[in-house]
């Protein structure tokens, strides 16, 4: 078995598990620590190292991170401390864990996992995966090829803010609206993305995908919409797969 530690860094929790990258299955249990607040590079580096220690792991680590990531460097920080912008994530986590760390955007990691091992397997057209959590993440595929850092959670919305400020689960919680009311907003967002990209398929991931049955009839796109199969583990699995490729 080819087991690699995958770590999904989120705005509310940092989760890790050993992943068999031959089949995308978790090997053993998952370990989660809450994301420190403020989520500065130093505080996050310590939380990251705690996960690596829990698994007593030595080897390459794959990491999904909630920001634009170019050559290991964070270029944005929508839901994490602004101190990350311009910081080399691979160096910071590599130093605190003592292992080589390979970092990619969290939604891109989730997309890779779903396309390789989950519901996207065999889908060859234009596929848009949206992760719904504190923020909105996106991952775009065409004929199996991924375009990284699409950041479609930040398309400008009516109020001049990012769409994620209006249609993420973070927004739903902040505004204290029901899931039903939220789903109408989210549908509007998907229809907007459909106008821009004409996807063949939308895959919905992140924490909110667990509740898909509750709101699926409220989503009014032409394209098919399906929930991710790997649910909240997609980020971990895709991160491990990303490290395996480096
Ligand atoms: C970030 C993205 C991230 C998404 C989901 C957004 O606010 O800008 O990089 O993929 O949240 O975590």
**246 residues of the chain, pLDDT tens digit each:** 789 999 999 999 999 999 999 999 999 999 999 999 999 999 999 999 999 999 999 999 999 999 999 999 999 999 999 999 999 999 999 999 999 999 999 999 999 999 999 999 999 999 999 999 999 999 999 999 999 999 999 999 988 999 999 999 999 999 999 999 999 999 999 999 999 999 999 999 999 999 999 999 999 999 999 999 998 899 999 999 999 999
| Alpha carbons 134 and 144: distance in angstroms, whole number | 27
Decide if 96 contacts 218 (C-beta within 8 A).
no
Q: For CATH 3.30.420.40, list the domain ranges present in the chain.
A: 3-106+233-245, 119-228
3-106+233-245: CATH superfamily: ATPase, nucleotide binding domain (3.30.420.40)
Decide if 165 contacts 199 (C-beta within 8 A).
no
Is 0.85 topped by the overall pTM?
yes
Please return the burial class of 159, using the count of CB atoms within 10 Å of its CB with bins 0-12, 13-18 and 19+. Answer: exposed
- Continuous H helices in the chain: 41-55, 89-97, 106-117, 164-167, 169-175, 179-197, 212-215, 234-245
Q: Is the CB of 206 under 6 A from ligand 1?
A: no
Query: Three-class SS of residue 112?
Result: helix
User: Which residue minimizes the CA distance to atom 9 of ligand 1?
Assistant: 67
Decide yes or no: CATH 1.20.120.140 for domain 119-228: no
CA 66 to centroid of ligand 1, rounded, Å: 5
Decide if 152 contacts 186 (C-beta within 8 A).
no
CA 206 to centroid of ligand 1, rounded, Å: 11
CA 73 to centroid of ligand 1, rounded, Å: 15
Residue 2's pLDDT is 84
């Amino acid at each position: 078995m080819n087991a690699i530690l995958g770590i999904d860094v989120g705005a509310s929790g940092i989760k890790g598990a050993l992943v068999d990258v031959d089949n995308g299955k978790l090997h053993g249990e998952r370990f989660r620590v809450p994301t420190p607040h403020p989520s500065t590079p130093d505080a996050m580096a310590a939380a990251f190292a705690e996960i690596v220690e829990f698994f007593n792991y030595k080897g390459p680590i794959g990491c999904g991170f909630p920001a634009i990531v170019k050559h290991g460097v964070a270029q944005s920080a929508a839901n994490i401390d602004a101190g990350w912008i311009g910081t080399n994530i691979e160096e910071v986590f590599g130093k605190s864990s003592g292992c080589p760390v390979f970092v990619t955007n969290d939604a891109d990691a989730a997309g890779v996992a779903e396309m390789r091992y989950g519901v996207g397997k065999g889908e060859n057209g234009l596929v848009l995966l949206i992760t719904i959590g504190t923020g909105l993440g996106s991952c775009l595929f065409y004929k199996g090829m991924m375009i990284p850092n699409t950041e479609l959670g930040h398309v400008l919305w009516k109020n001049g803010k990012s769409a994620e400020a209006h249609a993420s689960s973070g927004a739903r919680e902040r505004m204290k609206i029901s899931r039903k009311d939220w789903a109408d907003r989210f549908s509007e967002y998907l229809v907007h993305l459909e106008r821009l990209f004409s996807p063949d398929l939308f895959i919905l991931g992140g924490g909110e995908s667990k509740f898909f049955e509750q709101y699926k009839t409220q989503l009014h796109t032409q394209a098919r919409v399906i929930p991710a199969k790997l649910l909240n583990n997609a980020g971990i699995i895709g991160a491990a797969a990303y490290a395996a490729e480096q």
